[in-house]
Amino acid sequence: MLVLRTVLRKAFVLSIAMITTSVMADDRDELLSFIDGRYEETADLAQNLWELAEVGYQETRSSELLQSELRAAGFTVEAGVAGIPTAFQASFGSGGPVIGILAEFDALPGINQDAVPQRSPIPGKGAGHACGHNLFGAGSTGAAIAVAHWLEQTGRPGTVRLYGTPAEEGGSGKVYMVRAGLFDDVDAVVHWHPSDQNAAEASTTLANRSAKFRFRGVSAHAAGAPEKARSALDGVEAFNNMVNLMREHVPQQTRIHYVITSGGVAPNVVPDFAEVFYYVRHPEAESVREIWTRLEAAAKGAAMGTGTQVDWEIIHGNHPVLVNDVLARMMDEKLRQVGGVQYNSSEQAFAEQIYTTLNKPGLPLGSEQEVQPFEKSLGYGSTDVGDVSMVVPTVGLNTATWVPGTSAHSWQSTAASGMTIGFKGAQVAAKAMSLAVIEMLQNEQLLRDARAEFDAWRGDDFVYEALLGDRPPPLDYRN
Amino acid sequence: MLVLRTVLRKAFVLSIAMITTSVMADDRDELLSFIDGRYEETADLAQNLWELAEVGYQETRSSELLQSELRAAGFTVEAGVAGIPTAFQASFGSGGPVIGILAEFDALPGINQDAVPQRSPIPGKGAGHACGHNLFGAGSTGAAIAVAHWLEQTGRPGTVRLYGTPAEEGGSGKVYMVRAGLFDDVDAVVHWHPSDQNAAEASTTLANRSAKFRFRGVSAHAAGAPEKARSALDGVEAFNNMVNLMREHVPQQTRIHYVITSGGVAPNVVPDFAEVFYYVRHPEAESVREIWTRLEAAAKGAAMGTGTQVDWEIIHGNHPVLVNDVLARMMDEKLRQVGGVQYNSSEQAFAEQIYTTLNKPGLPLGSEQEVQPFEKSLGYGSTDVGDVSMVVPTVGLNTATWVPGTSAHSWQSTAASGMTIGFKGAQVAAKAMSLAVIEMLQNEQLLRDARAEFDAWRGDDFVYEALLGDRPPPLDYRN
Amino acid sequence: MLVLRTVLRKAFVLSIAMITTSVMADDRDELLSFIDGRYEETADLAQNLWELAEVGYQETRSSELLQSELRAAGFTVEAGVAGIPTAFQASFGSGGPVIGILAEFDALPGINQDAVPQRSPIPGKGAGHACGHNLFGAGSTGAAIAVAHWLEQTGRPGTVRLYGTPAEEGGSGKVYMVRAGLFDDVDAVVHWHPSDQNAAEASTTLANRSAKFRFRGVSAHAAGAPEKARSALDGVEAFNNMVNLMREHVPQQTRIHYVITSGGVAPNVVPDFAEVFYYVRHPEAESVREIWTRLEAAAKGAAMGTGTQVDWEIIHGNHPVLVNDVLARMMDEKLRQVGGVQYNSSEQAFAEQIYTTLNKPGLPLGSEQEVQPFEKSLGYGSTDVGDVSMVVPTVGLNTATWVPGTSAHSWQSTAASGMTIGFKGAQVAAKAMSLAVIEMLQNEQLLRDARAEFDAWRGDDFVYEALLGDRPPPLDYRN
Amino acid sequence: MLVLRTVLRKAFVLSIAMITTSVMADDRDELLSFIDGRYEETADLAQNLWELAEVGYQETRSSELLQSELRAAGFTVEAGVAGIPTAFQASFGSGGPVIGILAEFDALPGINQDAVPQRSPIPGKGAGHACGHNLFGAGSTGAAIAVAHWLEQTGRPGTVRLYGTPAEEGGSGKVYMVRAGLFDDVDAVVHWHPSDQNAAEASTTLANRSAKFRFRGVSAHAAGAPEKARSALDGVEAFNNMVNLMREHVPQQTRIHYVITSGGVAPNVVPDFAEVFYYVRHPEAESVREIWTRLEAAAKGAAMGTGTQVDWEIIHGNHPVLVNDVLARMMDEKLRQVGGVQYNSSEQAFAEQIYTTLNKPGLPLGSEQEVQPFEKSLGYGSTDVGDVSMVVPTVGLNTATWVPGTSAHSWQSTAASGMTIGFKGAQVAAKAMSLAVIEMLQNEQLLRDARAEFDAWRGDDFVYEALLGDRPPPLDYRN
């Protein structure tokens, strides 16, 4: 027997840090009341974004809606940042600390659903808020305005800055904003995401990079002169074959997946163009880079071996989310102070009807009222929040904007995102985030601890480099 | 050394049959004059079809145009035959012999071009007559009306029947008409095709069969739970791989080609559906059937081996064209009596300008005036005329409707098909075909010889079976 | 962003069990002295096995040597058990508890090396003890005899039973012995393995199963009549291709690997036979079985799709090693009482010379004197000890029989296994094992705790089934 | 319909050349008697070679036997030519014309059979004359000696030169001899081959080239660290996959075939070496070269795409046989003068017994007495006679040395090659060849016509280049 063993890697060291809560109970109550008082504004905003359902980099009116709201609340808005017309930053207050709040607002193409508890597509609507980014945008805006209100009331130093971040879905909008240095002066960042449960987010994600590989060959009539042709689809298939062979020889946490986005037009014509769209993911950005180099070699080898040419366009790329344990535990505490979502009777009826349509829901109805136990986890998705988390300590949470058991990107999530269940979830998020932000604005030790953990993880020689390189934002990727 | 040899297969036995021309010179002159006199009607018809550019099985107005013309000339029209709304047959005369004339009129999707000698797409036009079937329809109609005129004038027995045959391009329209028995009482069939040269057609084609193979798997998030998924695209790629291995083990004249018509939607979702569109061709229908059985086994094996399901839909299928030497030589004689196409000065200018855009044209300008030497050839295309030729002795010709050197399915062929060069070519075809038809109506020996050759080739136990089986016409294949 | 996360699986619960040492210091000293006094016998035995170097299931003389030694010490020997001529069990004592000791003794084909510190193959020798199973056999025999001595001296009840287990290397010898029920009355089993370090073994292994898949096609001259052939190698390549596609869709801890053991004879003959040898591994036997079913489907699908036939022969299969924490900690304690290996000056010189030939050794010279920290680990190898551990609580250790940094299956491990460094390591193993055995013979609570842990892991409805099914021992697998 | 056609390529122009027979009937009778009188010597030689059965480039004793016989007959022998120890040339006579006779004598590995009419391997014999090259060597030597006798008797000018050509089977022995210029002064070459029928040879062959492609990767334990490995077998499989894709895009007469000669050693070790052995063939050498370039690109692309390295060794390469119609018709005439093979009663019994073992024999018993009709054919095998035929007009024949219906490379061909049926066939060959040679020695016009045809085919700018390049003879290719 060959002796082969791996000593079990130590799981996260669960540092049981003492969280000193410095927010006074009075401040907290005031803040929560303020947010409750702005429910209609937040709900209207969420509703409007839901109806617009603009897709990545085309969120012109959605972005403008958020900006208007913030301007009206006294924020200074800088629009069109990082070379992206729909990206913006809106600041309030002065001096440090500077705390950022992320706000997404792009919709998903190819899905649409009315805000009703049975499958009901809206004719002619090409996109929908199946990931609840309308709530994300409205809730974060609500939180920012509440913090501004607190800053004004208390006269304390500090700045709250809301980042309007477009095109999260496959567009990596935040990466361009990080690359442009927009987070360089920020002390910490807060974000959230719609979900079917309430929980402080302590989940990592996978680094990823995607590209469209385009093969070009020589066309000819497939029956009359196939020997004169060089099939671009051969290039794609040879490429895929080598990648599938490669699967045995990459670290097991790697994920590589592809779809053939152009596989020829008509069988009687040898294709002179074919395209395959790849993702590569791994828990570590450096591994993505190493595997990517091999992917490129496979593409070039396939072109060489099939008499075709290949080039590729990086489409997007995200760093993994770096979980900050200090901040995550603080967020858990704040969320527990806020609590979950309470349905009224019509919401309860809506939820019950939705629940009957779910496939093996993992949570029971009623769990929307609870906050899940704090738990570290390994996530296998990817998000451009990762890049933010690589340049500034970042913390997030999920709230139950969807009926328990609902998956993202479903008609059920689209429906709930367009009605009061979603809006109430956004309020929970706004409350927990604003509590977290004012904690950070007052608690220097907390920020120091968070930074120390952050610095230790990154190491001394860390240099941020976007995984999507120096490409400009793909403003037309949804055309 | 292993001794391996194949005695050279005897090429076509060139039976030097004596063609006894029985058409009187007077009749001939009369007929050619009649056709010349109807130039405007034929040109208008060709022009109108060109502008309509209706695609396969959707040629409602084109079919109606042809029917109107024929009805006006005294033909009895039966529309909607063989279960196809746009298929029809139009008869004139009575008693035998019965001679059929084929008329195609479908356009090609994805190509459009104005009738000018430089690249000039017509905005918003989704299809074009890049294969000149507008000329085919108008020319054949002209021929049929001329023959009717001759029958009326001479009072001779015999019937001329024009077949309006839709969806030649990938739709195998004629196959359904053959399958429905519409040619059972016919003694011979005449057809033609637009081309860049004038020649009696003595070229075989390949039998073919096509199908869309649809694989269905199980979807899952490609990063989060790939082990729960079964990729439909894996099924397609495994299928293709086995077919590519099979290429070594089929007769060398076989042609197998495919395009991937659905290769997944987004890389982050393991595809639960994928589709590949295959053609199989071989000079003999029986070989196509044998290879097809192996193709199906590969599809089923791929599904079995990748944990997916597969089914397939036969899209079309054509028999090879059976060349009738007796009739082909007769047609060569008739075409030589008619001669080629004469350009006027503006047509000459048009032709010269087109010629500068051609890639290595195989024929010189001026060759449109000539008739090419009679020559047998092996063709590697496929056409549904093949099925007609399997049930009745069939003969065809090409005429120079396009500038010499022009390829079919090009913008140059589309342009010429929409102006007088194309219309003049159609007149040449109408003349040669009508001469051929009245020859056959009078020359019993010729028909007996043609039938004898036909019977000898098919053998005693021949039974016609469509290669596309018993599927109904795919009336929606162009949707 | 799609929320996808996996809560970190709890690592082994490190139950900090109190090990009550019940072996009296006097007993221990007596036992260690006894083993020291038998050094020459153990060394001679190890030397003789090393020279014989008999491969799996052909270890006739090696097995006989061990049996003789045990008979001479008063053991009752039953030879030829489980249908294997070279398998045996040798018992001493009466009543319970019954403690088993495993002894391997097969050599590896294709490697040979003299017992010198530089590369020096022995001409004409076809196999060698590159995995040190000569030491394994001799050391375990020494331990068993020492325990027998103790039983005799103390007159205590209890039985020690040495299992002579052939063909560990790819032959799964122990599996047939487990399947035959030879361990049914045993309370615990002790084993060890030669290594480059001293450590109680707390490493799991992977379950595995292997088979040779044999494809049969139809041969023909590859240039003269390839269309008449069906290539068996096509079958193998299509099979492999589908397995490589499958890699994306199995749990990430899965291991699938293959070599093509027969890929055709001459290029000018289409192969009618081809063979590929596969291993499938996973931490859990049940997963191996599930993936295996898919592997079989891929093989059948490949045969179907390439017009070939396939059958397969399971070659071997092992369960994962079930680590018993209670016993492993006890073994760690015993090993620490014995200590490591002390080189004399010539051994030191030998070791230094070997060390210069190693590629990036992971341990320093001198570490042979130490005992490594007790640590749980995930192993990626496989061993038939796994099956034993599934039916009876099992514990093992490694000792430094090879120079630190030496890999198994190397000429360096072969060399050290044939001289005093190896023999001294075997003595360390004999001492620790015999201490462990007499602990278990006296300490009822320990056995109860071990059994409780064992029962808890297996669950109530556990039924042992060999992964290699009901195939007979492949007695000729080394021919 | 896309018009795609190929005008039937004109088959060989059957030039009906008048063959003026100039050999006097007396001369002919004398010569045939002389050969009859040497039957025992020829049979003994054939028998001795059959028993030696030496494989390619190792035919030391076989070559020496032939040389001795020729020296004894007055030939001047030059041994070890072209860098090949077993190659030789033996000349007799002086001045021109110079006529060459080829003599092969290598056996095939892996086949052996006693000279009896039922399957009966000879134990311990590793090779056999399954292609009858023992007869080839003996028969050609007999012909050369007969011509020498005639030259001596007549005192005419002219030289006969026997070429001892080793390693025809996969070794391309003659190519090195051609490359060395050994045929530069020769006017025509005569050869023959054992067969199951008598026929002047007018069959072309395919040009071919072969190579072993060797991939090198990085090894690692396949379960423990597959991500560190780069599988050489992946390289081979990716290469093969791209070649299989390429099959659609080569001229249909191309033949590409391969076997995997090294596919890894053990599944648990990722292979760092793998080898695939390829042949490429096509009727034209230039096409082989073009396709070969693409094959190399596929190999390099596969290495690039799988992280491996590849190199390759050309193993052999032959030009196609250029049939000389003038000489082939002359040879047909000579063979008809000689007639076929007559069996005695024991040979008849042997033949009948063999015949029962044949699978669908293509010829009846008794046909060994006939000469087949003269017929041009396309052959799909390859032989190094091709290279000779590219530098000098060459003509051959087959004789019925094997029972009608027998395939080459079978036990039946081996058996007949070792007994009188084979020896009688060799005599027929010796007679026809010597008649042909003395015809050419006397008939200047014949040689001029042959040369004119030869020059016309090659064209003015023809330069001979060996398809195996400048590699030295692979003297060890049978080790």
Characterise C253 by phi-psi region: left (phi > 0), alpha (psi -120 to 50), beta (else): alpha
Residue of C4, C270, C304 lying closest to B300 (CB–CB): C304
Distance from the A444 Cα atom to the nearest Cα atom in chain B, whole angstroms:
38
pLDDT in tens, B62-77: 999 999 999 999 999 9
- Looking at beta carbons, which residues of chain B come within 8 Å of D378? 5-6, 8
Per-residue pLDDT at C478: 86
Residue of A206, A222, A233 lying closest to B260 (CB–CB): A233
- Looking at beta carbons, which residues of chain C come within 8 Å of B231? 245, 248-249
pLDDT in tens, C316-333: 999 999 999 999 999 999
Phi, psi for residue B417 in degrees, rounded to 5 = -70, -15
Query: Residue A362 pLDDT more than 70?
Result: yes
* Residues of C at the D interface, defined by Cβ within 8 angstroms: 170, 206, 208, 210, 221-226, 233, 237, 240-241, 255, 257-268, 270-271, 276-279, 281, 380-382
- Looking at beta carbons, which residues of chain D come within 8 Å of C283? none
Phi, psi for residue C73 in degrees, rounded to 5 = -90, 5
Q: What percent of chain C has pLDDT over 70?
A: 95
**Do the chains contact at C256 and A247, CB–CB below 8 Å?**
no
Distance from the C234 Cα atom to the nearest Cα atom in chain B, whole angstroms:
6
Per-residue pLDDT at B89: 98
pLDDT in tens, C111-145: 889 999 999 999 988 899 999 999 999 999 999 99
The SS3 assignment for B195 reads strand
Give the residue-averaged pLDDT of A232-238.
98
pLDDT band at residue A9 under the 50/70/90 scheme: very low
ipTM: 0.89
SS3 content of chain C, % helix, strand, coil (to 5): 40, 20, 35
Residue of B221, B260, B277 lying closest to A260 (CB–CB): B260
Q: By the 8 A CB rule, do B330 and B431 touch?
A: no
Which regions of chain D are under pLDDT 70?
A: 1-23
Query: Residue C156 pLDDT more than 50?
Result: yes
Per-residue pLDDT at A201: 85
- Looking at beta carbons, which residues of chain D come within 8 Å of C258? 264, 267
Residue of A268, A270, A278 lying closest to B267 (CB–CB): A278
Give the residue-averaged pLDDT of B449-467.
95
**CA–CA gap between residue B305 and residue C305 (Å, rounded):** 10
- Looking at beta carbons, which residues of chain B come within 8 Å of D6? 377-380
Residue of B2, B223, B241 lying closest to C4 (CB–CB): B223
**CA–CA gap between residue A383 and residue A169 (Å, rounded):** 8
* Residues of B at the D interface, defined by Cβ within 8 angstroms: 1-8, 11-12, 131, 168-169, 193, 195, 203, 205, 241, 244-245, 247-248, 252-253, 256-257, 375-383, 385, 398, 408-409
pLDDT in tens, C100-120: 999 999 999 888 899 999 999
- Looking at beta carbons, which residues of chain B come within 8 Å of D385? 1
Q: Which chains touch C (3 or more CB pairs under 8 A)?
A: A, B, D
Residue of D205, D247, D380 lying closest to B248 (CB–CB): D247
Per-residue pLDDT at C159: 98
pLDDT in tens, C462-475: 999 999 999 999 99
Give the residue-averaged pLDDT of B327-336.
97
Per-residue pLDDT at C58: 97
Q: What is the mean pLDDT of chain B?
A: 93
* Residues of D at the C interface, defined by Cβ within 8 angstroms: 110, 170, 206, 208, 210, 221-226, 233, 237, 240-241, 255, 257-268, 270-271, 276-279, 281, 380-382
pLDDT in tens, B410-423: 999 999 999 999 99
pLDDT in tens, A265-306: 889 889 999 999 999 999 999 999 999 999 999 999 999 999
Q: How is residue A137 written in tokens?
A: 């945008």
pLDDT band at residue A126 under the 50/70/90 scheme: confident
Cβ contacts of A97 within 8 Å, gap of 6 or more: A158, A159, A187, A188, A440, A441, A447
**CA–CA gap between residue D105 and residue D115 (Å, rounded):** 18
Q: What is the DSSP letter of D176?
A: H
Q: What is the mean pLDDT of chain C?
A: 93
Beta-ladder partners of D274 = D215
Give the residue-averaged pLDDT of B239-256.
97
More reliable by pLDDT, A7 or D381: D381
- Looking at beta carbons, which residues of chain A come within 8 Å of B278? 267
Query: Residue A97 pLDDT more than 50?
Result: yes
pLDDT band at residue B21 under the 50/70/90 scheme: low
C–D: how many Cβ contacts below 8 A? 99
Give the residue ranges of DSSP H helices in B73-191. 133-154, 168-171, 173-179
**Do the chains contact at D223 and C267, CB–CB below 8 Å?**
no
In terms of Cα–Cα distance, which of C172, C102, C111 is closest to C468?
Answer: C172
- Looking at beta carbons, which residues of chain B come within 8 Å of C231? 245, 248-249
End-to-end CA distance of chain D: 57
Per-residue pLDDT at B110: 81
**Do the chains contact at B237 and A233, CB–CB below 8 Å?**
no
* Identity of residue C150: W
End-to-end CA distance of chain B: 57
Per-residue pLDDT at A160: 98
**CA–CA gap between residue D55 and residue D170 (Å, rounded):** 11
D232-246 vs A232-246: helix axis angle to the nearest 10? Answer: 160
Give the residue-averaged pLDDT of A50-75.
97
**Do the chains contact at A227 and D241, CB–CB below 8 Å?**
no
Query: Residue B169 pLDDT more than 80?
Result: yes
- Looking at beta carbons, which residues of chain D come within 8 Å of B3? 193, 195, 203, 379, 381, 398, 408
Query: Residue B15 pLDDT more than 50?
Result: no
Q: How is residue B189 written in tokens?
A: 């069939």
**CA–CA gap between residue A234 and residue B239 (Å, rounded):** 14
A–B: how many Cβ contacts below 8 A? 98
Residue of B226, B228, B250 lying closest to C227 (CB–CB): B250
**Do the chains contact at B4 and D376, CB–CB below 8 Å?**
no
**Do the chains contact at C259 and D267, CB–CB below 8 Å?**
yes
* Identity of residue C116: V
- Looking at beta carbons, which residues of chain B come within 8 Å of C303? 301
Q: By the 8 A CB rule, do B215 and B310 touch?
A: yes
Distance from the D461 Cα atom to the nearest Cα atom in chain A, whole angstroms:
26
Q: Which domains does chain C have, with CATH numbers?
A: 2-204+320-458 (3.40.630.10), 207-318 (3.30.70.360)
Query: Residue A14 pLDDT more than 50?
Result: no
Q: What is the DSSP letter of B235?
A: H
The bridge status of strand D5-7 relative to strand A188-195 is unpaired
pLDDT in tens, A173-221: 999 999 999 999 999 999 999 999 999 988 899 999 999 999 999 988 8
Query: Residue C13 pLDDT more than 50?
Result: no
Any idea which residue has 């030295």 for tokens?
Answer: D472
The SS3 assignment for B460 reads coil
Cβ contacts of A313 within 8 Å, gap of 6 or more: A211, A212, A214, A471
